[in-house]
Amino acid sequence: MALNIRNLSLEAAYQEFNNKLTIMDNMAADFRADCASSAVPITRFWALIDTINKFLADLAIIVAKPGFAAYVTSQGGSTTPVADYNATRNAMIALRNGINDLIPVDGSGFELVLTKQADGSRAPRTFPTVTTAPLLPLCDALTDSLI
């Protein structure tokens, strides 16, 4: 059964908020390490984009909960949780857009996800470190923005 973010108490919402930020921090750090050291398969791009999209929606609901900002502050958290959330949100969007910009498309706008191998077979596209280098500062900005 899926967690209904809208019905969480402030305490549970704050816990879920922190859980999602921890997961995003780990994913961004892992993705950055992959981009810096090896070819990254397109499936890793998609996984991160899917997580970013889901988390953006969930975090927006949590931050909009009446009393959430005051609750965060009362728990010793950030004194500016909405501003901090907006910085993190913007960093997530920048990383998502950076990833999308790297995925080549054909003239029809379809993603070119497969590459032809020497033997004629097709394999998921991978992106070498030189191609993913522009994502490194975006990953850093995201991890730096996390509350």
pLDDT digits (tens, 9 = 90+) for 109-130: 667 777 788 898 888 888 888 8
**Size of the chain, expressed as the number of residues it contains:** 147
pLDDT computed for residue 102 by the predictor? 85
Predicted local confidence at residue 147, as pLDDT: 58
Burial class (CB in 10 A: 0-12, 13-18, 19+), 42: buried
Phi-psi region for residue 67, left (φ > 0), alpha (ψ -120 to 50) or beta? Answer: left
Give the predicted TM-score (pTM) of the model. 0.84
Give residue 130's pLDDT: 87
Mean pLDDT of the chain: 88
Q: Which pair of structure tokens corresponds to residue 92?
A: 């997530």
Instruction: Kindly report, residue by residue over 48-88, the tens digit of the pLDDT.
Output: 999 999 999 999 999 999 999 999 999 988 888 889 899 99
Q: What is the domain partition of the chain in residue ranges?
A: 11-145
